[in-house]
Amino acid sequence: MLIEPEKRRIRLRQAPPFPMGASHHYGGTRFVVFSRHATAVSLLFFDNANDVNPSKEWKLSPDLHRFGDIWSCFIEGSREGQIYAWKMDGDEVIDGIKSFTPEAFLIDPYTKAICGPYEWRDGLGSRDIPTAPKSVVTSPVYNWKRTISPKIPMEKTVIYEVHLRGYSAHPSAQVDFPGTFAGFIEKIKWIKELGITTVELLPIQAFAENEVINRNPFTGERLKNYWGYSTMAFMAVHPPYGALPGEEKEEFSQFVRTLHDNGLEVILDIVFNHTAEGNQTGPVLSFRGLDNSIYYMMDTENKCYLNYSGCGNTLNCNHPVVRDFIMDVLRYWVVEMGVDGFRFDLASILGRDQDGNLLDNPPLVERIAEDPILRNVKIIAEAWDAGGAYQVGSFPGTRWAEWNGRFRDDIRAFWLTEGGSIADFATRLAGSEDLYGSSGRTPLHSINFVASHDGFSLRDLVSYDYKHNEINGENNRDGDNHNLSDNHGIEGYTHDHEIRNLRLRQMKNLLLTLFVSQGVPMIYSGDEYGHTKLGNNNTYCQDNPVTWFDWRLTGNSLVDEFTVSGFADPLDVDIEEGRHITDFIRNLISFRNNHPHLRRKTFFSGSIVKNSPSPFSGMRDIMWINEKMEEIDWSYPRKFIGVILGPVIENDCVNLPVQMYFNATDEDIVAVIRSIPGYRWKIMFDTSDMRISDNSDRILEDTIITVKSRSSVVASLVKV
């Protein structure tokens, strides 16, 4: 982004203290920034993104350019595309540490675009800035031609968590602009055909990808912050995600519009718990240099930052100024960029006061839920943080959905460990009423998942007992040790046909449980074909084929060979297995869509379904049974359970009952299927069947079925 070279009159003038950020107008640009404790504020202009010296510097007058804590000015002659930064100094000292860094170039918190390199190098002093990104003056991209959201109801939502770059970065994607919004758009047909309704993007706000100083110990490769949970500018799109330099904001807007035109929602994973500035030894990029004690929770006694994020600092979310900023960020992405919702990373931090204490009624959490502009968007909390808070089921407010970590753990425990119980399994399958029922919430507040970006992939859950994160350069110390996984006899890849089939069956068990459970299902990109991350459960720094979506395994790529030095070839995973899993998920989503039994807006009551026609009269909405069709004994230790979902009467239409059995034991079990005159049971899914199909050609002639060891069976009624 370059300023046009012709000479023009540029001068400093006074301006009103709103709106925040840089607002381009005819004849110039208004610049507005917050700082309570600064005594000297300068606005810097640069001709080029890589410049280390400004071409212009204006020192703002406290008498002419300050309104309370707001500093504002109008630069006559300034144009769109102007590169700028703030510089601040002040007298504030906290326990002997000076709060301001007058030599630092500071990113405007309200900037809509950034440019220039950022490189954090090991061994620098605590306040050194090796290279600093800069802000860019932009204009709105929408011109009030609003994109129309599909507005998918929660009961029909299927979420696809995906990394923007990783989805099209692999050479097998064969797109014109790999790893960009444009590259993603070229591959959305896959998502639509799978049956997905809602795309949840890992962070796409500008982040510090070069902050990682570790190297792969086997290849020497410098690692990167790949996931993006290290925000530098909350309203700016991460520049590398654009295909054309400087056009990423417009490209993201087109990305949202294209997904909406294809009936897909867009949810952003957003990180308000910390920033890229790290702890007291980290860089000064923006908030720390603008007003450190306002934006961050401080431990003044120990002269450091409170760290409830596990990343060095904690954003002071419930300070009134920071609350306003967060609300402005959310409204910007909804109003100007058209997104459909947010997943809040480590959301429990949003409920901590300025001393770090958890609040009963957090004002920010309530404001987000009640804000009139955000009223119809999806809001999802990762309801825990690194400070010990775990609020799954108790996150404040009745509008918030939650990532249900209890669902993940209990379902994994049932299928993959010696622990787990039929009671916990049944509770999760039925929508986690123990978590959401007492507060007046519903099953639709539960975002169910068995794998996500953080942790083992679906395939690795059934292939590894232990994490293998050595390539992260941290001696395998990073990542969670509590994975509730099972390698089924051999750690990692094997040619053993029997083990491979068992692993495939277990992946299908996990997926089937996910999609027949009450709540909102979420899968992570790549799990639909069984992607392996080679046992790495913390791939935050792996921007390579370990994490990239491998289109060869979907059968939709013409690339036959691709190898990367230092990495096992993911084609060790059989392509036919990949297709098998993909077809299985596609059929599961279709089955879910066609059966309102699986998409309830309320919890089961266990009572008789009213107005059920004969021969279904007397059936309850849910019945938990053993293999003999007797009422289940919840104290029985064997991990085998059956369930019958009674008929659902909807718009005068009778949706026929569904019966399911789940066998996590090592034994085949003969089970009874309920006899209903005039009907036969059709086996819709049997996870022990290795055919690439949904098994829907199997109609039972009797009422007995063998549920194979470590398998699930789902049957639906058909009239004879």
Rg of the chain over Cα atoms, rounded to whole angstroms, equals 27
- pLDDT given at position 9: 81
Q: Report helix, strand and coil shares of the chain as percent, to nearest 5.
A: 25, 25, 55
- pLDDT given at position 698: 84
Using the predicted structure, report yes or no on whether residue 664 has a pLDDT greater than 90.
Answer: yes
Average pLDDT, integer, range 387-403: 96
Structural tokens at position 282 = 């980290």
Q: Is residue 177 part of a domain?
A: no
Q: Is residue 190 part of a domain?
A: no
- Which spans in 127-180 are helix H? 164-168
Domain boundary (87, 115, 136) is at 136
* Span 32-62, pLDDT tens digits: 999 999 999 999 999 999 998 999 999 999 9
CATH of residue 660: 2.60.40.1180
pLDDT tier at 504, thresholds 50, 70, 90: very high
Q: Is residue 161 part of a domain?
A: no
Strand-pair partners of 625: 631, 642
* Span 331-365, pLDDT tens digits: 999 999 999 999 999 999 999 999 999 999 999 99
Structural tokens at position 183 = 């590259």
Q: Is residue 473 part of a domain?
A: no
Average pLDDT, integer, range 698-704: 85
- DSSP 3-state of 183: helix
Using the predicted structure, report yes or no on whether residue 5 has a pLDDT greater than 80.
Answer: no
Catalytic residues: 345, 382
Q: Is 514 left (phi over 0), alpha (psi -120 to 50) or beta?
A: alpha
Domain boundary (116, 136, 156) is at 136
* Span 535-589, pLDDT tens digits: 999 999 999 999 999 998 886 554 444 444 334 454 455 788 999 999 999 999 9
Tell me the C-alpha distance between 407 and 403, whole Å: 9
More confident: 146 or 497: 497
CATH of residue 36: 2.60.40.10
Relative to beta strand 70-76, strand 66-67 is: antiparallel
Q: Is residue 686 part of a domain?
A: yes
Domain coverage including residue 704: 605-719
- pLDDT given at position 140: 74
What distances in angstroms separate CA 30 from CA 7, 20, 27, 67, 79, one per listed residue?
20, 9, 10, 14, 11
- pLDDT given at position 121: 61
Relative to beta strand 669-672, strand 704-707 is: antiparallel
Asked whether 43 and 86 are in contact (CB, 8 A), the reply is yes
Asked whether 642 and 624 are in contact (CB, 8 A), the reply is yes
- pLDDT given at position 301: 79
- pLDDT given at position 192: 97
More confident: 94 or 400: 400
Sign for the CA dihedral angle at 461, 467, 473, 477 comes to: positive
- DSSP 3-state of 655: strand
Minimum mean pLDDT range among 300-309, 429-438, 452-461: 300-309
What distances in angstroms separate CA 293 from CA 43, 94, 419, 521, one per listed residue?
22, 8, 47, 40
Using the predicted structure, report yes or no on whether residue 382 has a pLDDT greater than 50.
Answer: yes
Count of structural domains within the chain: 2
Average pLDDT, integer, range 493-518: 96
pLDDT tier at 8, thresholds 50, 70, 90: low
Residue 615, preceding bond cis, omega within 30 degrees?
yes
- pLDDT given at position 556: 59
Q: What is the b/e burial string over 270-309, where b = at least 16 CB atoms within 10 angstroms of the residue's CB?
A: bbbbbbbbbebebbbbbbbbbbbbbbbbbeeeeebbbbbb
Average pLDDT, integer, range 248-277: 97
Exposure on the CB side of residue 672, measured as CA atoms within 13 A: 10
* Span 587-630, pLDDT tens digits: 999 999 999 999 999 999 999 999 888 899 899 999 999 999 99
More confident: 394 or 9: 394
Q: Tokens 């030894």 map to which residue?
A: 281
Share of the chain above pLDDT 70, in %: 93
Average pLDDT, integer, range 256-273: 98
Q: Is residue 704 part of a domain?
A: yes
Domain boundary (136, 162, 183) is at 136
- pLDDT given at position 477: 97
- pLDDT given at position 562: 45
- pLDDT given at position 560: 43
Average pLDDT, integer, range 655-669: 97
Please give the mean pLDDT across all residues of the chain.
92
Q: Is residue 150 part of a domain?
A: no
- pLDDT given at position 142: 53
Q: Is residue 99 part of a domain?
A: yes
Average pLDDT, integer, range 210-224: 94
Share of the chain above pLDDT 90, in %: 83
pTM, entire model: 0.95
Q: Which of 397, 302, 310 is nearest to 349 (CA)?
A: 310
- 669: Cα separation from own chain's centroid: 39
